[in-house]
C-alpha cells in the first residue's frame, strides 16, 4: 500500500504543500515568455552541458595522446562492480523521484539507498586504483594509465558532489523546507546523478574500445 | 489565487528579501546590480594593473636597456639597477595578456554588464540563481587575488606567455616564472573558469526563462543577445582549458607526460614518455578562439544598443543581427586551428581552418553593414557613448581586415611571429572590446549610480584613446610587415632590423603612454561623477529599453510590486506619428483601422518614461 503525505505515520513526514509554487518571489516561470521547463531544471541541464565538454575534452585528449596505441593493461574486475553499482544508483534515484512526484514519503529510503551505493562505488574505485598500483601501473607509467587515473579521479570528484547533493535533499527533509523545494532538490540530484552514471559508462566504454 | 493577493504577497516578499546589513547589502550581496558593480570595479582595478605592466615593457622596447631608476618604484624585483631584466619582461607580457583577456575584458563584459543588464532589460527582478551569482563573483575575486599574489612570489609570476605553451610552462626550471608563479597562474585560471561558469549559467537561464510578459526572444535588446551568446560560448569552451590546466599541473608535479616529450634541456635529460606540446595548443585554442568572441559579442551588443539610440533610428536588420551573432558563435568553435598554422599541421587541415575562418568574416561583415545602415541618415547625437560606439566600428573594421590576411595560412606563416599578429588581435579583440566597454559605461553609468558623467572630459577621453590607440597599433602593423619579431625584449643588436624600427617603437610607446594618461582622465571622471556628479534623470538618453523604465538607481527587486509588460521591440526610434522620437517597450501598440500602421497609444512624458507602470503585470 502506498503511504501518502496525507497519512503521516512515520517520523520523516513531509510538510503540507504550500500555496502556489515556482522558484520564489523573483521567479516568473509561470509567464508565457518563459521556457517550458523551470529555471532550476534548465540551469541543471546547462551545467551538465558544461561538464559534458569537460569530459569530452579529457576523452579526446586521451584519444589524441595514445594515437591508436592499444590499452596496455587489463581493466580490473572491480571496474565492472563499479559499473553495476552506478546502474543501481540510477535505478534507486528513478524510484525516489517517482515517489516524490507521488508524494510518497518512502522516497527518503531510496535516497539513502542511492547514497549507500554511491559510497560503495567510491570504495570499489579505491580497490581498482590499488589493484592497478599493485600491478605497477601508476599515473606516470604510460598514457593509458595516466588518463585512466585522471578520468576516474575527475569522475570520482563528481561522485562526491553527488553525495553532497543527496545530503542536501536529506537536509531539506529534516528542515521541512516545503514540497516544491524538496521536489526541486530531488529532481536536480537525480538528473545530476544520471549524468555522473552515464559518464562512468562512457569512461568504461572508452577504455574497452582502446583495448580492442 | 487572485491578483491583489498575489500583489500584496509579492510586495511583502520583496520587502522580506531586502538585505538589511552592510555585509549582505554591499559585500556578500545576492542583488544582481551590486554584483555587477563588484565585478565592474574589480575588473577595472585589474585592468589598471595590466595597463601599468604594458607601460613598463613598452618603455623597455622604446629605450632598450635604458636606466630608468624611477621604474623601481613600480617593480622592485627584475629592475635591478633601474633596467628591466629579461625574466621581468617575459613576466610582464605574460601577465598583461592574462589579466587583460580574462580578468578585465571577460569579467567586465559578462560579469559586469551581464549582471547589470540582463534582469533589467528582460524585465526580471533578479537572476535565476542569486546565490550562485554571488558565489560567481567571490570565485572571481579569489582568482584575482591568486593571480595578483603570484606577482609577489620570489621567483616571479608566470612568464610563459598568456597561452602558457608547454614545455616552457611545464618545466619548473624553464624560466624563473615557471616555478610557483606558473602554478598560481593555473590555479587562478581554474578558479576563474569556475566563476565564469556559475555566472554564465545565470545569464542564460535568466534571459531565456525569466522574461517579463511580452518580452519575446525577438524583442530582446541586442545587448542581451550578445551577452547570453557569449555566456553560452564560455559554458561550452572554458571546460577544455580547465581540462588542459589539470593535465598541465599533473605534468608539472606528478611527472606525467601529457604535454612533455623526452627532452634534453641544457644537457640534462628530462625523462618523459612521448607527450605532445601540441595537445595543449589544441585544448588551449578550443577555448582561446571562442574567447575572442566571448569578448566581442557583448561589445557588439552594447554598440548596437548605443548606436541605435545615438542615431535616433531603429537598428538596421535586427533579425539578421541576431542571426549573425548565433552564426559567429557557432563558427567560433571550428576555427581554432588558425592559431596553429605554424605548428606543422597537415596543409589540408590548415586549408579547412582557412575556409572556416574566412566564412566567419561573412556574419561579421553583415553586422558592420547593419551598423553603418543604422547610422545612415540618422539624427546622430555625438554623445560620449556614441563616440565610443562609432570608435568600436572603426577598430572592428580595421582589425577585421587584417584578420583576413592572417586567416590565410599562406600569409599567416610569414607574419605569425611578427608584430603584425600582435597589432591585429589587439585592435580587433582588445581595442574593440574596450571601446564597447567604454560606450557601455558612459551609457549606463546614470542608471547604475544615479549620477551623470562629465561629457566634456568623456570626449577628451575618447579622442585621446582613439588617436593614441591608432598611434600604437597602426604603427605596429608596419613593424610587423618589416619583420619585427614578437617576444624580443631587446632588438638593437640584430642587424636585420633597421634603425627606423627603433623610431617606430618610440612612437608606439609614446602613444601608449598618452592612451594611459587618457585612462586616468576616465578614472577621475568616473570617481568624481559617482561621488559628486550631477543627478541623473531616469532616462537621460531618451532610450526605449526596459531598464530606463525602472527607478534610478533601480531598487532591490528592480520594479516595485508591478513587473513591466512589453509591447514592442527595443528599437522604436523616430516612429512615424509618435509624439516623441522614441517609444519605450512598455508602450502598447494600437492598430489603426486600416491595419497598416502602428501608432503610439500612450503618451511619453518629458523624462522619457511612460506614464506609470499601468501596463505592467503583477509579480
For residue B599, the surrounding DSSP H or E stretch is strand B598-600
Does residue B613 have a pLDDT over 60?
A: no
The predicted model gives B462-477 an average pLDDT of 97
For residue B128, the chain A residues in CB contact (below 8 A) are: 23, 27, 39-40, 43
Sign of the alpha-carbon torsion through B42, B45, B49, B54: positive
What is the rounded distance in angstroms from the CA atom of residue B35 to the CA atom of residue B134? Answer: 7
- Residue B610: pLDDT band (50, 70, 90) is low
Does residue A6 have a pLDDT over 70?
A: no
What is the rounded distance in angstroms from the CA atom of residue B476 to the CA atom of residue B412? Answer: 16
Closest CA to A156 of A110, A182, A123: A123
SS3 of residue B618 by DSSP: strand
How many helical (H) and strand (E) elements, i.e. helices and strands, does chain A have?
Answer: 5, 0
CATH H superfamily, domain B31-535:
Cytochrome c oxidase-like, subunit I domain (1.20.210.10)
Q: For B537-572, what is each residue's pLDDT tens digit?
A: 999 999 999 999 999 999 999 998 889 999 999 999
Strands B451-452 and B534-535, sheet pairing: antiparallel
Q: Where are the domains of chain B?
A: 31-535
Interface test with A, best of B209, B343, B546 (most A CBs within 10 A): B209
Mean predicted lDDT score pLDDT of chain B: 90
Q: Who wins on pLDDT, B31 or A25?
A: B31
Q: Which residues contact B120 (CB under 8 A, 6 or more apart)?
A: B33, B447, B546, B547, B550, B554, B558
CATH fold of the domain at A39-211: 1.20.120
What is the rounded distance in angstroms from the CA atom of residue B319 to the CA atom of residue B326? Answer: 11
Q: For B431-460, what is each residue's pLDDT tens digit?
A: 999 999 999 999 999 999 999 999 999 999
- Kindly report the nearest CA distance between residue B15 and chain A, in angstroms: 10
Kindly list the residues of chain A whose beta carbon comes within 8 Å of any beta carbon in chain B. 19-20, 23-29, 31-35, 37-40, 42-43, 46-47, 49-51, 53-54, 57-58, 61, 64-65, 139-140, 142-143, 146, 150, 154
For residue A65, the chain B residues in CB contact (below 8 A) are: 258, 275-276, 279
- Residue A118: pLDDT band (50, 70, 90) is very high
Q: Which residues contact A149 (CB under 8 A, 6 or more apart)?
A: A129, A132, A138, A139
In this prediction, residue B604 carries a pLDDT of 52
Cell numbers 570520482: residue: A156
Subunit contact B211:A42, Cβ cutoff 8 A: no
Q: For B587-599, what is each residue's pLDDT tens digit?
A: 997 754 454 444 4
Sign of the alpha-carbon torsion through B506, B511, B514, B520: negative
* DSSP annotation of A71: P
Residue pair B150/B185 in contact (Cβ under 8 Å)? The answer is yes
Q: For A194-205, what is each residue's pLDDT tens digit?
A: 999 999 999 999
- Residue B17: pLDDT band (50, 70, 90) is low
Residue pair A149/A53 in contact (Cβ under 8 Å)? The answer is no
Q: Where are the domains of chain A?
A: 39-211
Residue pair B89/B65 in contact (Cβ under 8 Å)? The answer is no
What is the rounded distance in angstroms from the CA atom of residue B346 to the CA atom of residue B285? Answer: 17
Least confident of A59-63, B19-23, B472-476, B516-520: B19-23
Q: For B95-136, what is each residue's pLDDT tens digit?
A: 999 999 999 999 999 999 999 999 999 999 999 999 999 999
- How high is the ipTM of this complex? 0.90
- Kindly report the nearest CA distance between residue B353 and chain A, in angstroms: 19
What is the rounded distance in angstroms from the CA atom of residue B111 to the CA atom of residue B38? Answer: 9
Query: How many alpha carbons fall within 13 Å on the CB side of residue B55?
Result: 17
* DSSP annotation of B608: S
- Residue A27: closest C-alpha in chain B: B210
Q: Who wins on pLDDT, B213 or B4?
A: B213
* A-contacting residues in B 235-274 (Cβ below 8 Å): 235-240, 242-244, 246-247, 250, 254-258, 273-274
What is the rounded distance in angstroms from the CA atom of residue B390 to the CA atom of residue B193? Answer: 32
**B480, three cell numbers:** 610587423
Subunit contact B205:A19, Cβ cutoff 8 A: no
- Report residue B569 CA to chain centroid gap: 26
Subunit contact B243:A20, Cβ cutoff 8 A: no
Amino acid at each position: 500500500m502506498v503511504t501518502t503525505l496525507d497519512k503521516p505515520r512515520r517520523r520523516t513526514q513531509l510538510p503540507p504543500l504550500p500555496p502556489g509554487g515556482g522558484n520564489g518571489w523573483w521567479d516568473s516561470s509561470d509567464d508565457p515568455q518563459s521556457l517550458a521547463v523551470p529555471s532550476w531544471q534548465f540551469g541543471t541541464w546547462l551545467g551538465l552541458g558544461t561538464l559534458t565538454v569537460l569530459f569530452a575534452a579529457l576523452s579526446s585528449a586521451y584519444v589524441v595522446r595514445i594515437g591508436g596505441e592499444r590499452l596496455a593493461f587489463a581493466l580490473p574486475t572491480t571496474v565492472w562492480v563499479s559499473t553495476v553499482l552506478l546502474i543501481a544508483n540510477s535505478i534507486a534515484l528513478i524510484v525516489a523521484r517517482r515517489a516524490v512526484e507521488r508524494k510518497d514519503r518512502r522516497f527518503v529510503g531510496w535516497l539513502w539507498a542511492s547514497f549507500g551505493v554511491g559510497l560503495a562505488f567510491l570504495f570499489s574505485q579505491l580497490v581498482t586504483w590499488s589493484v592497478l598500483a599493485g600491478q605497477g601501473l601508476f599515473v606516470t607509467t604510460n598514457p593509458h594509465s595516466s588518463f585512466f587515473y585522471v578520468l576516474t579521479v575527475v569522475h570520482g570528484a563528481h561522485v562526491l558532489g553527488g553525495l553532497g547533493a543527496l545530503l542536501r535533499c536529506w537536509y531539506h527533509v529534516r528542515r521541512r523546507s516545503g514540497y516544491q523545494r524538496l521536489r526541486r532538490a530531488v529532481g536536480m540530484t537525480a538528473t545530476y546523478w544520471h549524468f555522473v552514471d552515464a559518464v562512468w559508462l562512457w569512461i568504461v566504454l572508452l577504455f574497452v574500445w582502446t583495448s580492442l | 489565487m487572485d491578483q491583489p493577493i498575489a500583489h500584496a504577497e509579492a510586495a511583502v516578499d520583496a520587502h522580506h528579501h531586502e538585505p538589511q546589513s552592510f555585509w549582505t547589502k554591499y559585500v556578500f550581496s545576492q542583488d544582481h546590480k551590486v554584483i555587477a558593480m563588484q565585478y565592474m570595479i574589480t575588473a577595472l582595478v585589474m585592468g589598471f594593473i595590466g595597463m601599468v605592466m604594458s607601460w613598463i615593457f613598452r618603455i623597455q622596447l622604446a629605450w632598450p636597456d635604458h636606466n630608468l631608476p624611477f621604474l623601481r618604484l613600480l617593480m622592485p624585483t627584475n629592475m635591478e639597477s633601474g633596467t628591466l631584466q629579461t625574466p621581468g619582461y617575459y613576466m610582464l607580457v605574460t601577465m598583461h595578456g592574462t589579466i587583460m583577456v580574462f580578468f578585465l575584458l571577460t569579467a567586465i563584459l559578462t560579469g559586469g554588464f551581464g549582471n547589470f543588464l540582463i534582469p533589467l532589460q528582460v524585465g526580471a527582478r533578479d537572476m535565476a540563481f542569486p546565490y550562485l551569482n554571488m558565489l560567481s563573483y567571490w570565485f572571481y575575486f579569489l582568482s584575482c587575488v591568486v593571480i595578483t599574489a603570484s606577482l609577489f612570489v620570489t621567483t616571479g609570476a608566470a612568464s610563459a606567455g598568456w597561452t602558457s605553451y608547454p614545455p616552457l610552462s611545464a618545466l619548473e626550471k624553464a624560466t624563473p616564472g615557471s616555478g610557483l608563479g606558473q602554478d598560481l597562474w593555473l590555479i587562478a585560471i581554474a578558479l576563474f573558469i569556475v566563476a565564469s561558469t556559475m555566472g554564465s549559467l545565470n545569464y542564460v537561464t535568466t534571459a531565456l526563462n525569466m522574461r517579463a510578459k511580452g518580452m519575446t526572444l525577438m524583442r530582446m535588446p541586442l545587448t542581451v543577445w550578445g551577452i547570453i551568446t557569449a555566456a553560452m560560448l564560455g559554458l561550452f569552451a572554458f571546460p577544455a582549458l580547465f581540462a588542459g590546466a589539470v593535465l598541465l599541473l599533473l605534468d608539472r608535479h606528478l611527472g606525467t607526460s601529457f604535454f612533455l616529450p623526452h627532452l634534453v634541456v641544457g644537457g640534462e635529460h628530462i625523462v618523459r614518455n612521448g607527450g605532445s606540446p601540441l595537445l595543449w595548443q589544441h585544448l588551449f585554442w578550443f577555448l582561446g578562439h571562442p574567447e575572442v568572441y566571448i569578448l566581442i559579442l557583448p561589445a557588439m551588443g552594447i554598440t548596437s544598443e548605443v548606436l541605435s539610440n545615438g542615431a535616433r533610428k531603429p537598428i538596421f536588420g535586427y533579425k539578421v543581427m541576431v542571426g549573425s551573432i548565433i552564426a559567429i558563435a557557432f563558427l567560433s568553435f571550428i576555427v581554432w586551428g588558425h592559431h596553429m598554422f605554424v605548428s606543422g599541421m597537415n596543409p589540408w587541415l590548415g586549408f579547412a581552418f582557412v575556409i572556416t575562418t574566412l566564412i566567419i568574416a561573412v556574419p561579421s561583415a553583415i553586422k558592420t553593414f547593419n551598423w553603418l545602415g543604422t547610422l545612415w541618415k540618422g539624427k546622430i547625437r555625438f554623445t560620449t557613448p556614441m563616440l565610443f560606439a562609432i570608435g568600436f566600428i572603426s577598430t572592428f573594421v580595421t582589425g577585421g581586415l587584417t584578420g583576413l590576411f592572417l586567416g590565410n595560412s599562406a600569409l599567416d606563416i610569414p607574419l605569425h611571429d611578427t608584430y603584425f599578429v600582435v597589432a591585429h588581435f589587439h585592435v580587433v579583440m582588445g581595442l574593440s572590446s574596450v571601446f564597447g566597454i567604454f560606450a557601455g559605461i558612459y551609457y549606463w553609468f546614470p542608471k547604475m549610480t544615479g549620477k551623470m558623467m562629465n561629457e566634456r572630459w568623456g570626449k577628451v577621453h575618447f579622442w585621446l584613446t582613439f588617436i593614441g590607440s591608432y598611434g600604437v597599433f597602426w604603427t605596429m602593423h608596419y613593424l610587423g610587415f618589416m619583420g619585427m619579431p614578437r617576444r624580443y625584449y631587446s632588438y638593437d643588436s640584430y642587424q636585420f632590423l633597421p634603425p627606423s624600427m627603433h623610431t617606430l617603437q618610440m612612437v608606439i610607446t609614446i602613444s601608449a603612454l598618452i592612451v594611459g594618461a587618457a585612462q586616468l582622465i576616465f578614472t577621475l571622471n568616473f570617481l568624481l561623477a559617482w561621488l559628486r556628479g550631477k543627478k541623473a534623470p531616469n532616462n537621460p538618453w531618451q532610450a526605449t529599453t526596459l531598464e530606463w523604465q525602472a527607478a534610478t538607481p533601480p531598487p532591490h527587486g528592480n520594479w516595485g510590486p508591478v513587473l513591466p509588460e512589453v509591447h514592442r521591440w527595443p528599437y522604436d526610434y523616430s516612429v512615424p506619428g509618435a509624439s516623441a522620437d522614441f517609444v519605450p517597450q512598455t508602450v502598447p501598440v494600437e492598430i489603426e483601422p486600416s491595419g497598416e500602421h502602428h501608432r503610439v497609444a500612450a503618451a511619453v512624458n518629458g523624462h522619457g518614461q511612460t506614464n506609470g507602470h499601468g501596463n505592467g503585470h503583477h509579480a
